[in-house]
């Protein structure tokens, strides 16, 4: 079975438990806290599903599949590229991962721009969350319960187990089901035709198996949620809201693609488990509220978002007033109402408490407003002020380095990025900025080298090697720089050979 086919199967069975009552995975992309001890009376026993999965997909295989998925995620138009949203989700996800049973598994969290209520887990620790799900959650603990559930799918290797126990039926039907899912958003009628060719018996056997996975992921996720210090009652509460389903918009994919129904049995099972656990009230972080406000502000028409925020503020219909004014400011910035956006930000700074008034989101927004005003001096001052308060906030780092490029000061952009790379060694965009800065300085070897490192961090080994080859042929650069590039090219080619051998083994 080709690696590409396994990738499609990963997307197919991406466990979208939260696509309840008719909301299914309508898009499949091509990207701290001290843990509490779990109570001793919590039943965490799991069904013995065996280790046969390791004979189908080894951990190394899962990692390679995950990297291939992330390569598609990196260039997908369906994936949210807002670094503040990305960093928030990864901070929340990593807090839960630290409380998970598998401390060795690496995870990548990303957000899909899609209004449906959905989240999914794939091999290699790849977890995607739809914007619709983030907006549907009533608390940060509810969102954490979703991520905990998906982390459970990954740590229990459900994809490999499904392939091991059902590969005959799966391999027979995977092409038709995957085709229907991929066609659903673009043309539901064609998706209906594609689905008609898939054997119903094989699909049903797959569904029966994944229901067991859902129950197992519920139990593992609940344990993770508790150990990470969140409100465990958020999981059954969110399940119940999803089952009612009256608040959520129907997805565009055919109804018979709803492969992971949320049953009353599952809700009852989780509810019974949390009854044995201590009651814990957990306040939402301000960042959770700000991310949700930002997503609403950037969804649909800017004026519609402005009207909604203004009405909510007027009628006192909000969970957090500061976040509501922040969302209004973001929407006004989209509409190029710079005075209105600045006024909302001033309200936040004046009215918010000391703890909520200082936040990296506000500093970044203030700088973006100055950039939109075409006031480079004020923008530079604001970026410097923001980074002094929040030195590791990537939106500020990105913005300040882009500012230096815009005013033709590439050396300052290079210094800023290089100072921060130790904190974010796998950030591809940092290398994109370096490539642009070196281009401005006519340093070809360093430009190609930086672009190659960017591609490598986007899991595109072929393009990374291509750029390193260009770098070795560059006429500039000293002996030391050429030696570094040649050694790196040799390392990348060796890795390419290893990956090709692994792909052949999977085929």
3-class DSSP state for residue 127? strand
3-class DSSP state for residue 507? coil
Owner of token pair 């002996």: 479
Mean pLDDT, the chain, rounded, equals 80
Burial of 46 (0-12, 13-18, 19+ CB in 10 A): middle
pLDDT at site 105: 87
b (16+ CB within 10 A) / e for 367-402: bbbbbeeeeeeebbebbeebbeebeebbbbbbbbbb
Domain count, the chain: 2
3-class DSSP state for residue 421? coil
- Split at pLDDT 50, 70, 90, the class of 408 is very high
Residues 268 and 412 in one domain: no
Do residues 405 and 440 make contact, with C-beta atoms less than 8 angstroms apart?
A: yes
Residue 287 lies in a domain: no
Structural domain boundaries enclosing 412: 408-507
pTM: 0.81
Last residue of a domain, which of 208, 242, 274?
Answer: 274
Residue 392 lies in a domain: no
pLDDT at site 33: 35
- Split at pLDDT 50, 70, 90, the class of 160 is low
Cβ of 45: how many Cβ atoms within 10 Å?
A: 7
CA distance 96 to 109: 12
- Residue 416: name the closest of 445, 449, 383, 389 by CA: 383
Residues 11 and 155 in one domain: yes
Residue 391 lies in a domain: no
pLDDT at site 66: 77
Residue 328 lies in a domain: no
Tens digit of each residue's pLDDT (9 = 90 or more) over 124-136: 888 989 899 999 9
Residue 290 lies in a domain: no
Structure tokens at 263: 């049953």
Q: Flag whether pLDDT at 357 surpasses 60.
A: yes
CA distance 461 to 453: 9
- Split at pLDDT 50, 70, 90, the class of 50 is very low
- Residue 292: name the closest of 181, 139, 411 by CA: 139
CA distance 378 to 367: 8
Strand partners, 122: 126
Residue 94 lies in a domain: yes
Indicate which CATH number applies to the domain containing 467. Answer: 1.25.40
Structure tokens at 106: 């690496």
Last residue of a domain, which of 235, 252, 274?
Answer: 274
3-class DSSP state for residue 120? strand
CA distance 504 to 263: 41
Strand partners, 130: 112
CA distance 506 to 68: 14
- What's the Rg (C-alpha) of the chain? 24
Last residue of a domain, which of 232, 256, 274?
Answer: 274
Give 444's contacts (C-beta < 8 A, 6+ positions apart): 438, 470, 471, 474, 475, 476, 477
Q: Flag whether pLDDT at 235 surpasses 70.
A: yes
Do residues 436 and 451 make contact, with C-beta atoms less than 8 angstroms apart?
A: no
Owner of token pair 């009230």: 281
pLDDT at site 278: 86
Q: Flag whether pLDDT at 426 surpasses 80.
A: yes
3-class DSSP state for residue 128? strand
3-state percent helix, strand, coil for the chain, nearest multiple of 5? 65, 5, 30
Tens digit of each residue's pLDDT (9 = 90 or more) over 18-30: 443 333 333 333 3
Residue 315 lies in a domain: no
- Split at pLDDT 50, 70, 90, the class of 290 is very high
Residues 88 and 235 in one domain: yes
pLDDT at site 267: 86
The DSSP string of 282-317 is -PPPHHHHHHHHHHHHTSS-HHHHHHHHHHHHHTT-
The DSSP string of 315-377 is TT--S-HHHHHHHHHHHHHHTT-HHHHHHHHHHHHHHS-HHHHS-HHHHHHHHHHHHHTT-HH
Owner of token pair 């950037």: 298
Residue 382 lies in a domain: no
Structure tokens at 96: 């839960």
Give 476's contacts (C-beta < 8 A, 6+ positions apart): 442, 443, 444, 445
């Amino acid at each position: 079975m080709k690696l590409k086919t396994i990738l499609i199967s990963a997307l197919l069975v991406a466990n979208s438990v939260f696509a309840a009552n008719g909301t299914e995975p309508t898009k499949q992309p091509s990207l701290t806290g001290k843990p509490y001890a779990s109570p001793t009376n919590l039943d965490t026993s799991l069904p013995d599903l065996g280790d046969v999965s390791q004979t189908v997909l080894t951990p190394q295989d899962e990692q390679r599949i995950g990297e291939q998925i992330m390569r598609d995620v990196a260039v997908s138009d369906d994936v949210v590229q807002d670094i503040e949203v990305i960093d928030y989700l990864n901070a929340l996800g990593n807090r839960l991962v630290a409380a998970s049973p598998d401390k060795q598994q690496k995870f990548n969290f990303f957000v899909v721009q899609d209004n449906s209520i959905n989240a999914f887990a794939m091999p290699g620790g790849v977890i995607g969350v739809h914007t619709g799900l983030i907006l549907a959650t009533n608390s940060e603990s509810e969102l954490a319960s979703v991520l905990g559930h998906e982390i459970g799918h990954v740590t229990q290797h459900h994809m490999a187990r499904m392939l091991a126990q059902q590969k005959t039926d799966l391999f027979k039907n995977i092409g038709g089901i995957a085709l229907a899912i991929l066609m659903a958003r673009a043309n539901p009628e064609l998706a209906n035709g594609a689905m008609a060719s898939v054997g119903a018996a094989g699909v049903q056997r797959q569904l029966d198996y994944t229901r067991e996975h859902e129950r197992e992921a519920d139990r593992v996720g609940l344990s993770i949620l508790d150990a990470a210090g969140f409100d465990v009652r958020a999981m059954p509460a969110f399940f119940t809201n999803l089952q009612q389903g009256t608040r959520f918009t129907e997805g565009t994919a055919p109804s018979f693609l709803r492969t992971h129904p949320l049953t009353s049995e599952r809700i009852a099972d989780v509810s019974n488990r949390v009854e044995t656990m201590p009651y814990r009230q957990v306040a939402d972080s301000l960042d959770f509220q700000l991310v949700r406000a930002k997503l609403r502000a950037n969804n649909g028409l800017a004026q519609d978002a402005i009207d909604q925020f203004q009405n909510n503020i007027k009628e006192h219909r909000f969970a957090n007033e500061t976040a509501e004014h922040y969302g209004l400011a973001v929407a006004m910035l989209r509409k190029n109402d710079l005075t209105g956006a600045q006024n909302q930000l001033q309200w936040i700074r004046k009215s918010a408490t000391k703890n909520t008034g200082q936040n990296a989101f506000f500093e970044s927004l203030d700088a973006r407003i100055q950039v939109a005003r075409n006031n480079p001096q004020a923008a530079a001052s604001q970026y410097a002020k923001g980074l002094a308060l929040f030195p590791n906030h990537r939106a500020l780092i990105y913005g300040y380095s882009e500012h230096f490029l815009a005013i033709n000061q590439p050396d300052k952009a290079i210094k800023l990025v290089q100072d921060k790379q130790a904190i974010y060694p796998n950030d591809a965009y940092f290398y994109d900025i370096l490539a642009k800065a070196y281009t401005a300085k006519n340093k070809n070897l360093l430009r190609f080298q930086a672009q190659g490192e960017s591609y490598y961090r986007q899991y595109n080994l072929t393009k990374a090697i291509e750029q390193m080859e260009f770098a070795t042929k560059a006429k500039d650069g000293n002996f030391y720089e050429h030696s570094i590039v040649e050694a790196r090219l040799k390392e990348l080619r060796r890795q390419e050979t290893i990956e090709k051998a692994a792909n052949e083994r999977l085929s």
